[in-house]
């Protein structure tokens, strides 16, 4: 996407302690071309205006490698983000994407291993190649309007032993049943769930809520209670939390058996 036809010289400015280099178009709009975030700053609120002009875009690699940033907010004035704009921000945990973004480019958040939450606007309609590659911790909700998702966009990382791409165990995509996000996830063997439409209790994912699910929940509860690491995936944990108390325990197993009993007698 070529958004620059004529521009003024590159200019540097410091705002809230962050040094930005930007390019100003002849119509006054500003494109951020690079940023230098000091180690002392962990929350980056990208400005919506610089020198009185709207920030229109963020160029490729502008924030790449800014290791101190833990949260980034992209303002609603921004309509364009370049490839790899936030790649290798290794401390980044949370991102809020502005409402005028329609496309996330290739490698936008590539290799951001601490990333947990990304708030995507409903206006979003495409996600590029490897946009969230290597973001193993990410809890990702994909809006219904997304109709294009590139290769290895999420839920994928590199096996350190073979150097081949592998699926991240238990990675979960949240979205709307029947959406392209669901189709993409299923086709790529990535867990998907519609938080408003799922079969509570079916932790074995066989389409039934029965005694085997209750047994699996009790096993998971026993593991957690004895200080062992959970074995359930993110999806199984959601499905198993039947009583919605944010944990998988004996009460959930009991609730599953009640559901099973009720269904068996109908």
Predicted confidence (pLDDT) per residue in 31-45, tens digit? 999 999 999 999 999
Q: Which two tokens stand for residue 36?
A: 């230098």
Mean pLDDT rounded to a whole number for the chain: 94
pLDDT (average), residues 235-239: 97
For tokens 């919605």, the residue is 244
- Dihedral Cα 103, 109, 115, 121, nearest 10 deg: -10
What is the number of other CB atoms lying within 10 angstroms of the CB of residue 263?
A: 11
Contact 85, 108 (CB under 8 A): yes
* Cβ count near 203 (within 10 Å): 29
**C-alpha 82 chain-centroid distance:** 18
Taking CB atoms within 8 Å and a gap of at least 24, the contacts of 190-198 are 190/154, 190/155, 191/233, 191/234, 191/235, 192/235, 193/235, 193/238, 193/239, 195/238, 198/238, 198/239
CB 158 within 8 A of CB 166: yes
Residue 8 is predicted with a pLDDT of: 54
Query: What's the mean pLDDT in 12-39?
Result: 93
pTM for this entry: 0.92
Domains of the chain: 7-193 (3.80.10.10), 211-264 (no CATH)
pLDDT at 4 > cutoff 50: no
């Amino acid at each position: 996407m070529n958004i620059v036809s004529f521009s003024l010289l590159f200019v540097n400015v410091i705002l809230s302690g962050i040094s930005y280099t930007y390019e100003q178009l002849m119509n006054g709009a500003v494109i951020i071309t690079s940023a230098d975030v000091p180690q002392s700053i962990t929350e980056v609120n990208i400005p919506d205006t610089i020198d009185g002009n709207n920030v229109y875009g963020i160029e490729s690699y502008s924030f790449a490698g800014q290791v101190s940033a833990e949260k980034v907010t992209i303002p609603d004035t921004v309509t364009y983000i370049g490839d790899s704009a936030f790649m290798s921000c290794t401390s980044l945990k949370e991102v809020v994407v502005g409402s005028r973004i329609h496309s996330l480019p290739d490698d936008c958040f590539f290799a951001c291993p601490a990333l947990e939450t990304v708030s995507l606007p409903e206006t979003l309609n495409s996600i590029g190649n490897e946009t969230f590659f290597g973001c193993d911790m990410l809890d990702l909700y994909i809006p219904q309007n997304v109709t294009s998702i590139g290769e290895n966009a999420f839920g994928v990382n590199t096996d350190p032993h073979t150097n081949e791409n592998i699926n991240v165990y238990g990675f979960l995509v949240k979205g709307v049943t029947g959406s392209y996000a669901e189709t993409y996830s299923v086709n790529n063997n990535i867990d998907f769930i519609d938080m408003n439409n799922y079969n509570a209790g079916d932790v074995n994912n066989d389409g039934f809520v029965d005694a085997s699910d209750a047994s699996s929940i009790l096993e998971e509860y026993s593991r957690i209670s004895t200080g062992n690491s959970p074995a359930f995936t993110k999806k199984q944990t959601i499905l198993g939390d039947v009583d919605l108390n944010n944990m998988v325990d004996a009460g959930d197993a009991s609730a599953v058996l009640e559901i099973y009993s009720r269904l068996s007698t109908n």
